[in-house]
Amino acid sequence: MKTRSQYRTVEVIIQNKPLARDPEGETIHRNLVLKGGYDQVTGVRAGKLLRMTVQAESGQEAENIVRRLCDDLRIYNPAAHSCEVRIVEKEDRITE
């Protein structure tokens, strides 16, 4: 029997909090961007992007699963980082 399952692509963006120093971003800005002649760029903030595929009936359910995962498994440090979770696409798959 074939069943239709819904999959959601969920992105997790982890960044240093706004007032925290960002040594990686500062290094990229100073050693690559400015030395490359892009003086118009006044700052760089580095972060991490995680893209997860989640089987869920709705976008809200997929988002809740990923938020819980990030908190339970300590994917980020809430004292030092901000964490944004967003749904980017939906895909239907037919499975046996």
Q: Give me the CATH number covering residue 32.
A: 3.30.1280.10
Whole-prediction pTM value? 0.78
pLDDT digits (tens, 9 = 90+) for 11-30: 999 999 989 999 999 999 99
Answer yes or no: is pLDDT of 96 > 60. Answer: no
Backbone phi and psi for residue 62, each to the nearest 5 degrees, phi listed first: -60, -45
Number of domains in the chain: 1
Computed over every residue of the chain, the mean pLDDT equals 91
Residue ranges making up the domain that contains 15:
3-95
Q: Which tens digits make up the pLDDT trace of 26-44?
A: 999 999 999 999 999 999 9
Cα distance between residue 90 and residue 96, in whole Å? 20
pLDDT over 90 (residue 49): yes
25 near 17, Cβ under 8 Å?
no
Let me know: does 10 contact 64? Beta carbons within 8 Å: no
DSSP strands (E only) in the chain: 3-16, 47-55, 81-95
* pLDDT, position 65: 98
